[in-house]
Structure 1
């Protein structure tokens, strides 16, 4: 059941952010300067921006430490998902694949 929840969170974690990012790209193109101006436009947006940056660093640390411990392959994929979408995709995808890895290891030890 938890794997289904992680999968649904992956879908939401992709669709919800891109429902806002895609219109920005269509309207302004890949205007990095404008992107960061709007991201840090006021105190509350700075709050959310900083939260996402710190959460991303936590995710990267967790992915590399836990992924290495469990001998999970292709850890770069979760970092790429984090950079291209956000923690909202990178974290549930890693947790989904971690759950699968734990199940496989339990079957092997069986």
Structure 2
């Protein structure tokens, strides 16, 4: 299996697993209630640990997407950035790696 296809599989997993928890939470509360979301996100020390880890990882990833993407002359860098903001690193990273692999394959074919 080519690496780029593996990245697409990771994109799918990275979308489905987090949203399998997020969408029922939204349905349970009938909307995206941000104060309640923040309260639940930091409900205890272990959930706060994971929340802070993901927030830092997302900031680092978005910085990497911009710098590496510009270095390689990639287009559509907004896609993995939006994926990171709307889903998380679990979608943004494999989506960026997919786009990056496409760019590297294009350059190698020239």
| TM-score, structure 2 normalization | 0.95
RMSD over aligned Cα, in angstroms?
Answer: 0.7
Partners in 1 of 2:101 and 2:107 — Cα distance? 10
Q: Can you give the 5+ residue segments of structure 2 that lack an aligned partner in the other structure?
A: none
Total equivalences in the alignment: 108
Aligned to 2:7: 6
Q: Quick check: 1:105 aligned with 2:102?
A: no
Q: What's the offset of the Cα at 1:4?
A: 2.0
> After superposition, where does 1:60-99 map in structure 2 within 5 Å?
60-99=62-101
Aligned counterpart in structure 1 of residue 52 of structure 2, from 50, 59, 62: 50
Aligned pairs (5 A) from 1:17-28: 17-28=18-29
Q: CA deviation at 1:78?
A: 1.1
Partner of 2:33: 31
Unaligned runs of 5+ in 1: none
State the secondary structure of the residue aligned to 2:74: coil
Summarize deviations over 1:23-60 as a string: whole Å, max 9, x none.
01111111001101000000000100000011001101
